[in-house]
Amino acid sequence: MKLDPKSTRSLNFFTAQMTSISRAGIIGLVVLGLILAGGIYALIVQVVDGHIVTGMRDNVVWGIYIANFIFFIGISYAGALISGILHLLRVPWRAPIIRIAEMITVISTIIGPTYILLCMGRLDRLHHLALFGRIQSPILWDVLAISTYLMGSIIFLYLASIRDLSALRSYPFKSKWRTKLYKFLSVDFNGNTVQNQYLDRALNIMSSIIIPLAILVHSVLAWIFGMTLRPGWHSTIFAPYFVIAAVFSGTGVLIIAMWVFRKVYHLESYITKIHFNYLGIILMILGALYAYFTFSEYLTSWYGSETWEMEVLYKLFDYNEYWWWFFFAAIVGVLLPIIVILFPRFRSINSITAVSVVAVMALWVKRYLIIIPTLETPLLPLQDMRPEYIHYTVTPIEWLLTFAGIAMFILLFFLFSKFLPIVNVVKVAEGRSYGTLREIVANKLLKRQIRELKLKEHQKFAH
Amino acid sequence: MNSGYKQFLLLALIAFVPAFAILAQDTLMSASRIQAAYYKDQAGQERIVAKLLIKKERYEPLSNTEIQFFAVADTSNVLLGKMMTDDKGEAVYILEEDDKAYSDSTGQIAFVISYEGSPTTKDASKDIQVKAADLKVSFFQEDTAKFISIEAFEKEPSGAAMPIADLEIGLFVKGTFSHLPLVKEVTGADGKLIVPFPVELPGDTLGNLTIVAKIEDNDVYGNVEAWGRINWADPVELTSEARRGLGDTDAPLWMVYTLIVLLSAVWLHYAYVIYLIIKIKLSKHLA
Amino acid sequence: MEERENDQSRRAFFSKTVPAAIGVLGLGGLLAEACNTPEEDEEKVAVLTPDGKLVHVSKSSIGSQPVSPKEAREGIPGKKFVMVIDLARCKNARKCVSECQKMHQLPAEDEWIKVFLMQDSEDTAPYWFPKPCFHCNQPPCVKVCPVGATYKRTDGIVLVDTDRCIGCKFCMTACPYSSRVFQWKEVPKTAETCNTPYSPETSTPSRVGTVGKCDFCPDMAREGKLPGCVTGCPNGVIFFGDKNEDIVTNGSESFRFSELVHDRAGYHFMAELGTEPNVYYLPPVNRLFDYEKGFNDLTEEQEEFYKSSIVKKH
C-alpha cells in the first residue's frame, strides 16, 4: 500500500525499532526470562506434588490464582471497551493508543485463563468440559464466553492492523520471513475503495460486537461468584460491579502501557499530554463510578444486621486481618486518582501514570479481597485446629507463578511490539491529514460539494 | 546344722517358684465369656450365633478365634462344627438336618458352645437348650376390617404339631434396614394371635407390605422369625423420569435456546467478518 | 521375485514386532497402574442376604462388584433415603467420624461427617452437632458442576464421580454447609482399593485433585446395611432409613419417620437457604448428657479450642 512521505517516515521510525533491540531491552529480557524460569519450576513442583504446595485448603479453595484470573480478564477491557467505544464514537485522538489497547486485550485474555488451568485439580480431564459440559453451570458459561471473547479480540486486533501490515509488506526488511508473513497476513490489501469499504464494515461490526461481548464476559465471571450462597458474593450488583472495576483497571493499565512505550520507543510525538489527560479523565469518572458501587455494596451490608454478612465485613474492618488492604484498595486506590486528576494543576503525564499504578494495584488487592475473606467466612463457621485451614496464606509457589504471569504479559507485549508497530501508523497518518473533528466534517462537506459539482459538469457535457 | 537349714530353705524357695508361677499365671489370664443364642429365620434356616468376649478393661469382642459347637448326646458331647469369629467377635454355625437327631424325648436339643482358651485367655463355654417352634403369618378380611393372624406351634417327637399358648410374639413391619415394631402380644390357648392390620402404612410401588412375626429371646424356643406378605398397604409412587432443570443433567429448554441464540449471533458475525476478509483478498485488483 | 520376497519378510517382521511392542507398552501401562499387594487368603464370612437368608461366602467376593460409575447414576429404585440426627443424645464420641474414615479409607484429617460444638444463642446450652452431607433435594453443588461429576439420583443421594471430576472446586464454594473435602495430595493405595474397581457408590479410593464427601453409603444400602456412622455411634444418635417406607432406625431402635419428626419437632439446619436437605435434626431437649461430657476424651488444648470457637448458628 502506498503511503505519503510523512507516513513513510513514521513507518521507518517504527520498523527501525521492530528490528533492533537496545541493551536495556536485552537486560529486561534476561530478567523476564529468569522470572519465567522460576514460574516453570513452580509449575513442575505443583504438577508433581499436587495442589498441597499452594496455600489453598478445604475452606479457601480458590486463592491467588483466581484473583489473578479476574484481574487479567478485567484489564482486558482496555481494548474491548476503550478501543471499541472510541472507535464507535469516532473520537479523533484515539489513533495512537488503540493498538496498545487492543494488544492488552488479546494478551490478557490469553494469560488470564491459564490461571484457571493452574487452579484446576485434574488438568488431564480438561476435555470433559467438551464431552460432558452442563450449560447450567456458570463455569461453562465462562468457558464459552471467554473463548468467544478471545476469538473476537484477536479478529479485532487483526482487522485494525491490516492497513499497517499492508504498509509493512513493501518495506525492505532484512529477514525474508517477515516479508512473507506480512504478505500473507495483509491479504493483498492495497487501499482501493472496495477493500476500504469491506474493511470499514468489518471494523464497525467487530467494534460494535466486542462491547456487549466484553460486558457479558465479565458479567458471567461475576456470576460464578454471585450465584453461590456465600456472604459477600451473593450480591445482586456483582455483575455491574465487576464490569465497572474492569473498565477502571483496564484504563489504568492502558495509561501505564502508554507511558512505558512512550519512554522505551520514544513516542513523544505520537502519544502526547492530550492522550494522558483524556484517558485520565476517563479514569477519574470510572473511579468515581467504582467508588459509588463499592460504597453502595458495603453500606447495604453494614446497615442490615444479618450475621453472615457482618462476619465478612468484620473481617475486612479488623486491624489484625484485612483492614489495611481494604483501606488501600477501596479508599486510597479510588480517592487518590480522583483527587489528582480532578485538579488540572496536579495533572501531568507522570502524575497521571503514577495514580494509574496505584489504581491498578488497588484493584488487584480488591480482587483478592473479594475472594479470600468470603471463603474464610462460610455460612457454617469453621471449627478446625489447623491454622492453614482457617487462614489462607500465599505460598512461594503461588507467588512465583503470579510473577511469572506478569512477566509473560510483559514478554508477550514485547514480542507483539517487535512484530507490529506499537502505534497505528496508517491511522495516525489519516488523522494528521484529516486533522480535528471540525476539519473532518468540513472535509466531508467539501467532498460532497465537489461530487455534486462534478455531476453537474458531467450532465452539462452530456447534453 | 546351719548349712542343712540353708539347703532346706533353698529347696523350699525353689519349689515355691513354679507354684507361684502357676498361681500368677492363673490370675494373669484374661477372663472370657460366650454369649449364644438360637435363631430360626423365615426361610426355615436354623443357626446358632455365638459371641466371644474377652475382658480387657471391659468385655470386648475377640475376633479371629475358633469356637466349637457341640450337641449334647446321651453319653457325650458331639462336635458339630468349628467356626472362626469375625471382626465383631461373632461366629455362626448353621444347623444341619443330622444335628436335630440329638434331641431328647421332649424334642429339646441341648448345645454347648465352647472356647478352648489360650495361654493368655481362660476358656469359656455356654449351654443353651432349644425346642424348635414354627410361626405362620396369614391375613384375612371380615367385611372392610383387615386382620393379621399368627399361629405358633411346636413339633412333637411323634411329628404332630402342638399349638403353643401364652407365648409372647412381637409383630413388626419389614423395612430396608430394620423391622418397625407394631405390637407385642401373647397367643391364646389355641396358639393363635389375631391383630388388626395397621392402616396408613406405606408399602412398595405395588402396595406390598411384609409383616414379620418374631419370638424373641424365649427361654425354650430361642428366636424364631416368620414373614407374611400382603398387598394391603398404600402404594408409593416412583420418581418420574429425568427432568430438565437447574440440578439435572439436561438444562431447561429456555436456557438452551438462549445460549444457542447468543452464541450463534456472535459467531455468525465472526463468520461474516472472515468472509469480508476473504473478499478483501479477492478484490485486490479492483479500483 | 527377490523383491517380493523381501517385501514379504518385511511385512512379516512388522506384523510380528509392532503388536508385540504395543502389547509391551500396554502391559507397561497396566503394570504402572497395578498395585503390588499379596493375595488375600480365602476366608469365609457369614453374610445375610437381602431376602434374610444366611450364607457363608468367601471374604474376597464381598464388595468386589460395586456398581459401575454409569450404573451409579441410577438410584436404588423406589427408595428415598433420609437421615434423622438426635441432638439430645450426642456426646461427641466421634465414633461416626472414625467409622466413616475407616470405611472409606480416609486419612485422619479428612472428615466427611464433622461434629461441631454449637450454640443457638447466648442463653442456651451448647450442644454437639454431627453434620454429614445433607443430600439436598435442591443441591447447590449439583447446579454448578460444569461436567456433571456430582449428580442427584432418584433415591435422593448426591454422589461424586471422581472419574469425571476436573477438580475446579466450584461445588465446594457452592455448598453452604461446607460438606465437601478436596484431595490436595496423592492418597496412598491399600490392598483393598487396588483389588476393587472404583465406584461412586463406595467413593473409594479418593483420587488426588478431586472432591469427596459423605455418600450415605449406597453400596451398604444395596445390601440392606446401615451406613458406618449409624452403626458406629455408641448412643444411637443417627437414624437412617427410607422415607418411602416411613421407617428410620439407628441399628437398635426403629421408628416411623413421620411420627419421629412430628413428635420430636424435627427441623432442617438453616432451612431458609431453600436447599431442602434430607437430614433432619431433633432438638437437644431432655438431653442424655451434659455437653461438657463431650470433652472427656479430649486434651485441655482441644477443650479450649472448642469453647473458643463455638459455632453460633441454628
- CA C148 to CA B143: how far, in whole Å? 54
Nearest CA in chain B to A144: B263
C184: nearest CB among A50, A140, A228: A50
Q: Which of C157, C276, C153, C149 is nearest to C217 (CA)?
A: C157
Q: Compute the 3-state secondary structure of chain A and give helix, strand, coil in percent, each to the nearest 5.
A: 80, 0, 20
Write down the domain spans for chain B. 32-130, 133-230
Inter-chain contact B273–A155, Cβ cutoff 8 Å?
Answer: yes
- CA C142 to CA C134: how far, in whole Å? 13
CB A53 within 8 A of CB A45: yes
* Distance from the A380 Cα atom to the nearest Cα atom in chain C, whole angstroms: 6
C164 touches chain A (CB under 8 A): yes
Ranges of chain A whose pLDDT falls below 70: 1, 431-441, 463
Query: Which string of DSSP letters, residue by residue, matches B112-128?
Result: EEEE--BTTB--EEEEE
CB A155 within 8 A of CB A223: no
C146 touches chain B (CB under 8 A): no
> Residues of A with CB below 8 A from C118's CB?
none
pLDDT digits (tens, 9 = 90+) for C71-83: 889 888 889 999 9
pLDDT digits (tens, 9 = 90+) for A281-293: 999 999 999 999 9
Q: Is the pLDDT of residue C23 over 60?
A: no
* Residues C237, C243, C249, C254, CA torsion sign: positive
User: Which of 3.10.180.10, 1.20.1630.10, 3.40.1190.20, 1.10.150.530 would CATH assign to domain A5-432?
Assistant: 1.20.1630.10
User: Which residues on neighbouring strands pair with residue C159, listed in sequence order?
Assistant: C151
CB B49 within 8 A of CB B36: yes
C255 touches chain B (CB under 8 A): yes
Inter-chain contact C140–A228, Cβ cutoff 8 Å?
Answer: yes
Coil, helix or strand at residue A317? helix
In the structure, how many helices (H) and strands (E) does chain C have? 9, 14
The predicted pLDDT at position C312 comes to 85
Inter-chain contact C177–A56, Cβ cutoff 8 Å?
Answer: no
* Of B240 and B168, the one with more pLDDT: B168
C148 touches chain A (CB under 8 A): yes
- Same topology for domains B32-130 and B133-230, yes or no? yes
Coil, helix or strand at residue C98? helix
Q: Which of A242, A342, A364, A238 is nearest to A288 (CA)?
A: A342
Nearest CA in chain A to B265: A209
At position A293, the amino acid (one-letter code) is F
B286 touches chain C (CB under 8 A): no
C-alpha cell of residue B47: 443357626
CATH number assigned to the domain covering B32-130:
2.60.40.10
B227 touches chain C (CB under 8 A): yes
User: Which residues on neighbouring strands pair with residue B168, listed in sequence order?
Assistant: B186
B45: nearest CB among C54, C138, C249: C54
Q: Which of A2, A135, A229 to probe the B interface (max B CBs under 10 A)? A: A135
C168 touches chain B (CB under 8 A): no
- CA A444 to CA A236: how far, in whole Å? 47
Q: What is the CA radius of gyration of chain B?
A: 37
At position A435, the amino acid (one-letter code) is G
Q: Which of B249, B253, B255, B280 to probe the A interface (max A CBs under 10 A)? A: B280
| Cell 498441597, residue located | A52
CB C81 within 8 A of CB C243: yes
B175: nearest CB among C54, C75, C254: C254
Q: Which residues contact A290 (CB under 8 A, 6 or more apart)?
A: A244, A245, A248, A334
C-alpha cell of residue B93: 454355625
- CA B88 to CA B63: how far, in whole Å? 6
pLDDT digits (tens, 9 = 90+) for B5-22: 788 777 777 767 666 656
pLDDT digits (tens, 9 = 90+) for C275-311: 999 999 999 999 988 999 889 888 999 999 999 888 8
- Report how far apart the first and last C-alpha atoms of chain C are (Å, whole number): 91
Inter-chain contact A188–B284, Cβ cutoff 8 Å?
Answer: yes
E-state strands within C136-253: 150-152, 158-160, 181-182, 211-212, 238-242, 247-249
* Distance from the B286 Cα atom to the nearest Cα atom in chain A, whole angstroms: 7
Q: Is the pLDDT of residue C263 over 80?
A: yes
- CA C166 to CA C149: how far, in whole Å? 8
C-alpha cell of residue B111: 448345645
- CA C210 to CA C218: how far, in whole Å? 20
> How many CB contacts within 8 angstroms connect chain A with chain C?
137
Q: Which of A347, A356, A338 is nearest to A255 (CA)?
A: A356
Locate all alpha helices (DSSP H) within chain B, ordered by sequence.
2-28, 253-282
Inter-chain contact C241–B45, Cβ cutoff 8 Å?
Answer: no
Neighbour tally for A134: CB within 10 Å: 23
Inter-chain contact A121–C167, Cβ cutoff 8 Å?
Answer: yes
Cα-Cα-Cα-Cα dihedral of C155, C230, C162, A230, to 10°? 80
The predicted pLDDT at position A335 comes to 93
What's the whole-number mean pLDDT along residues B45-74? 87
Interior angle at CA B164, CA B162 and CA B169, nearest 5: 140
Neighbouring subunits of C (3+ Cβ pairs under 8 A): A, B
Inter-chain contact A122–C311, Cβ cutoff 8 Å?
Answer: no
At B212, the pLDDT band (50, 70, 90 cuts) reads: very high
The predicted pLDDT at position B20 comes to 62
Neighbouring subunits of B (3+ Cβ pairs under 8 A): A, C
At position B137, the amino acid (one-letter code) is V
What's the whole-number mean pLDDT along residues B254-266? 95
CB B66 within 8 A of CB B82: yes
> Residues of C with CB below 8 A from B201's CB?
246
Q: What is the ipTM of this complex?
A: 0.86
B170 touches chain C (CB under 8 A): no
B243 touches chain A (CB under 8 A): no
Q: Determine which helix (DSSP H) or strand (DSSP E) holds B148, and give its type and residue range.
A: strand B145-155
* Of B111 and C27, the one with more pLDDT: B111
At C55, the pLDDT band (50, 70, 90 cuts) reads: low
The predicted pLDDT at position C38 comes to 43
Q: Compute the 3-state secondary structure of chain C and give helix, strand, coil in percent, each to the nearest 5.
A: 30, 20, 50
Give the distance, in angstroms, between the CA of residue C192 and the centroid of all CA atoms in the same chain: 16
Q: Is the pLDDT of residue C19 over 90?
A: no
The predicted pLDDT at position A141 comes to 95
Q: What is the CA radius of gyration of chain A?
A: 25
Q: Which of B163, B170, B165, B164 is nearest to B185 (CA)?
A: B170
CB B172 within 8 A of CB B212: yes
Coil, helix or strand at residue B217? strand
pLDDT digits (tens, 9 = 90+) for C75-125: 888 899 999 999 999 999 999 999 999 999 888 889 999 999 999 988 999
At C21, the pLDDT band (50, 70, 90 cuts) reads: very low
- CA C78 to CA C270: how far, in whole Å? 28
pTM reported for the whole predicted model: 0.84
**Exposure letters A366-384 (e unless 16+ CB within 10 A, then b):** bbbbbbbbbbbbbbbbbbb
Q: Which of A262, A299, A247 is nearest to A422 (CA)?
A: A262
- CA A427 to CA A91: how far, in whole Å? 12
Nearest CA in chain B to A135: B251
Q: Which of A406, A403, A411, A405 is nearest to A21 (CA)?
A: A411
C144 touches chain A (CB under 8 A): yes
Nearest CA in chain B to C79: B238
* Distance from the B241 Cα atom to the nearest Cα atom in chain A, whole angstroms: 19
B28 touches chain A (CB under 8 A): no
Query: Which string of DSSP letters, residue by residue, matches A185-230?
Result: HTTT----HHHHHHHHHHHHHHHHHHHHHHHHHHHHHHHHHHTSS-
**Exposure letters C16-50 (e unless 16+ CB within 10 A, then b):** eeeeeeeeeeeeeeeeeeeeeeeeeeeeebbeeee
B270 touches chain A (CB under 8 A): yes
Give the distance, in angstroms, between the CA of residue C183 and the centroid of all CA atoms in the same chain: 14
Q: Which of B176, B201, B224, B236 to probe the C interface (max C CBs under 10 A)? A: B176
CB A97 within 8 A of CB A53: no
pLDDT digits (tens, 9 = 90+) for C139-186: 999 999 999 999 999 999 999 999 999 999 999 999 999 999 999 988
- Maximal C-alpha separation, chain A: 100
- CA A209 to CA A298: how far, in whole Å? 33
Q: Which residues contact C91 (CB under 8 A, 6 or more apart)?
A: C128, C235, C288, C289, C293, C294
> Under CATH, what is the fold of the domain B133-230?
Immunoglobulin-like (2.60.40)
Q: Which of C170, C133, B263 is nearest to A227 (CA)?
A: C170
> Residues of B with CB below 8 A from A199's CB?
276, 280
* Distance from the B151 Cα atom to the nearest Cα atom in chain C, whole angstroms: 21
Inter-chain contact B269–A162, Cβ cutoff 8 Å?
Answer: no
CB B70 within 8 A of CB B80: yes
* Distance from the B16 Cα atom to the nearest Cα atom in chain C, whole angstroms: 44
At position B51, the amino acid (one-letter code) is K
The predicted pLDDT at position A92 comes to 79
* Distance from the A374 Cα atom to the nearest Cα atom in chain B, whole angstroms: 24
Nearest CA in chain B to C54: B45
pLDDT digits (tens, 9 = 90+) for B112-122: 898 888 888 88
Q: Is the pLDDT of residue C218 over 90?
A: yes
- CA A203 to CA A200: how far, in whole Å? 5
Inter-chain contact A380–C182, Cβ cutoff 8 Å?
Answer: no
Neighbour tally for A286: CB within 10 Å: 25
